[in-house]
């Protein structure tokens, strides 16, 4: 904990205060002192031999799929009736290939083709190892001659300017750029439906051929319809795996047995050929993530930028609601509110508005994502 605080630019005084607080409350453990007594209210035993890489999807964050089982799970989803783990694609239609022209280049989509690959912000901003790991995967792919297909919409949206600094410091951002993972902004993007439109040719190929297209992102929500109206399958994965799936171009792959593609030497390239070692990632983090990056970024966070600072805003302390606005209205909840809250009162003649089953998500209650202009909404 203290090492992380130092790494992220906290002052020596702050770190010392936190250590003193933890020690005073008997919450501090020095792992260099093996004889130190430790007492816990409960214990959890974990067999590290059973830990394995996973992704989740295609429609819920908690539907975990072991990476080695992904291909079989995908085919089960195609077979199963429509539901959280099913698309009900007839057997005879599961091998369908939609061929189309992508700006003069022949292209094709199948069920499971990846059309969106996004390294997104909130989930991984404070974890340099996976962000730099994604850069190392992109670099190894570049060195071996692999390239993400141009019809895969790839993007990188860090949650902090610090991420940009250490990706540039490491020299890995250029390799992410070459694979299409350019920085598109800082904050919520793909996982809340802000990836933008797919290329018109890709959209048409999906819609006209009823293709179950896929998005792979390193976000934390993949509820149906949230990421993009045309990606019925949406999988959550680590940033390095997002790059890997973008290179493969499909979720219908067994990484252990099937190659990502063919290298410049004509040989098959597997995921294991481009996956960085733990030592390589640790060395890159140590040499690229510097405390001054955090200090300089946090010191300037309230200064804004020229575009932000030039925005015209009212000087009043209370927001002046525009009754003619079609974008934002004053919520009714605070109308008539006084400084002194009213006392409790009884609830009479109340009735149930809605009665749902299981797996009701925040998106069912307050939908997020892009509203298709051709939809009933």
pLDDT bin (cut points 50, 70, 90) of residue 303 is confident
Asked whether the predicted pLDDT for residue 221 surpasses 80, the reply is: yes
Please tell me whether the peptide bond between 58 and the residue prior to it is cis, using omega within 30 degrees of 0.
yes
Structure-model confidence comparison of residues 34 and 185, the more confident one: 185
What pLDDT score was predicted for residue 35? 65
Asked whether the predicted pLDDT for residue 145 surpasses 80, the reply is: yes
Chain segment 314-373, per-residue pLDDT in tens: 888 888 888 899 888 888 888 888 888 888 888 899 998 888 888 888 777 777 766 767
Task: Specify whether the CB–CB gap between 121 and 189 falls below 8 A.
Answer: yes
The per-residue pLDDT of the chain, averaged, comes to 91
What average pLDDT score do residues 25-44 get? 79
What pLDDT score was predicted for residue 272? 97
**CA distances in angstroms from 118 to 62, 135, 174, 195, listed in the order given:** 19, 13, 16, 8
CA–CA dist 87, 95 (Å, integer): 14
Encoded tokens for 306: 């020229």
Map out the domains of the chain as residue ranges. 1-50, 52-299
What pLDDT score was predicted for residue 176? 98
What pLDDT score was predicted for residue 369? 67
What pLDDT score was predicted for residue 362? 78
Q: Quote the percentage of the chain above a pLDDT of 70.
A: 97
Chain segment 48-96, per-residue pLDDT in tens: 999 999 999 999 999 999 999 999 999 999 999 999 999 999 999 999 9
Task: Specify whether the CB–CB gap between 68 and 80 falls below 8 A.
Answer: no
What pLDDT score was predicted for residue 36? 66
Specify the DSSP element, H or E, that contains 215. Answer: strand 214-217
What average pLDDT score do residues 206-222 get? 95
What pLDDT score was predicted for residue 61? 93
* pTM score: 0.85
- Topology (CATH) of 52-299: Aconitase; domain 3 (3.30.499)
What pLDDT score was predicted for residue 285? 94
CA–CA dist 237, 352 (Å, integer): 38
């Amino acid at each position: 904990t203290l090492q992380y605080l130092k790494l992220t630019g906290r002052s020596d005084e702050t770190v010392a205060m936190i250590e003193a607080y933890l020690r005073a409350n008997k919450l501090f453990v020095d792992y260099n002192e093996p004889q130190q007594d430790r007492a816990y209210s409960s214990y959890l035993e974990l067999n590290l031999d059973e830990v394995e890489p996973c992704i989740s999807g295609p429609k819920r964050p908690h539907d975990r799929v072991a990476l080695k089982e992904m291909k079989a799970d995908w085919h089960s989803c195609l077979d199963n009736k429509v539901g959280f783990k099913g698309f009900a694609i007839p057997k005879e239609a599961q091998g369908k290939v939609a061929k189309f022209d992508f700006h003069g280049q022949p292209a094709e989509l199948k069920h499971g083709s990846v059309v969106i690959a996004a390294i997104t912000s909130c989930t991984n901003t404070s974890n340099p190892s996976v962000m730099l790991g994604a850069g190392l995967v992109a670099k190894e792919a570049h060195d071996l001659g692999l390239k993400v297909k141009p019809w895969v919409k790839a993007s990188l949206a860090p949650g902090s300017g610090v991420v940009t600094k250490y990706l540039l410091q490491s020299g890995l951002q250029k390799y992410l750029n070459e694979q299409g993972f350019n920085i598109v902004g800082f904050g919520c993007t793909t996982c809340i439906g802000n990836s933008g439109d797919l290329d018109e040719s890709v959209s048409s190929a999906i819609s006209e051929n009823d293709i179950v297209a896929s998005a792979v992102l390193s976000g934390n929500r993949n509820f149906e319809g949230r990421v993009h109206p045309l990606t019925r399958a949406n999988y959550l994965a680590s940033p390095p795996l997002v790059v890997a799936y973008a290179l493969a171009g499909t979720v219908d792959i067994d990484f252990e047995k099937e190659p990502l593609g063919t290298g410049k030497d004509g040989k098959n390239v597997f995921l294991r050929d481009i996956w960085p070692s733990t030592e390589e990632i640790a060395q890159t983090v140590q040499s690229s993530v510097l405390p001054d990056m955090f200090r300089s970024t946090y010191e300037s966070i309230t200064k804004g930028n020229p575009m932000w600072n030039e925005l015209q805003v009212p000087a009043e302390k209370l927001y002046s609601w525009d009754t003619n606005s079609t974008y934002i209205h004053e919520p009714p909840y605070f109308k008539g509110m006084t400084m002194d809250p009213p006392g409790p009162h009884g609830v009479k003649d109340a009735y149930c508005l809605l009665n749902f089953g299981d797996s009701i998500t925040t998106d069912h209650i307050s939908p997020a994502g892009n509203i298709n202009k051709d939809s009933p909404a």
